[in-house]
Amino acid sequence: MTITPMIGGGGYLDDWSGHVSNTYSLGIGLEFAATENVSLEAEGGFGKYHTSYLFYTPMGRRIFSHEFNRFDIGANAKIYLMRSTIQPFIGAGLMGLYYSDMDHGPYSPLHRYSDWVGAGQLLAGMNVQVAHEVAVGLRGSWLLPLFNRPGT
């Protein structure tokens, strides 16, 4: 079993890309080797996000800004393409994303909700072994909401 602490950032695509920024993300992964090149990973995380955009009221244009949290839990299968000092990998999995204190965007910025979203995740990365049983790495992932998409 491998324990992987994670720190990073994230962003949104499409309609939300210009309005949502990630303040920080923290997480932890537990990886179990199934074979020499295949592993299963359970992960959990937390992210703090910031939204801002213009919206219109009877009193004119206003800038709306607030923060929301996202809690993640999921599982991935990873395939290591090489097992040496450099260890590139690809993988896929399913995630549960809990949005806490999210808003409905510029059409209803004061209406908040908290809800679960089911997502698929594609990931790729690389670990570099720096000592026996110690590696540092970089990973990127793309989440695609599949179930209970946000009501924006």
Beta bridge partners of 55: 62
Q: Which of 67, 128, 123 is nearest to 93 (CA)?
A: 123
Q: What does the block give as tokens for 67?
A: 């923060």
Our measurement of the distance from residue 143's CA atom to the centroid of its chain's CA atoms, rounded to an integer in Å, reads 7
Looking at residue 66, what is its pLDDT? 83
Among 60, 1, 53, which residue's Cα sits nearest to residue 28? 1
Q: In this predicted model, what pLDDT tens digit does every residue of 68-104 receive, in sequence order? A: 899 999 999 999 999 999 999 999 999 999 999 887 7
- The predicted pLDDT at position 14 comes to 66
pLDDT of 59:
79
Residue-wise pLDDT tens digits, 24-57:
899 999 999 999 999 999 999 999 988 887 777 7
Q: Distance of alpha carbon 130 from its chain centroid, rounded?
A: 26
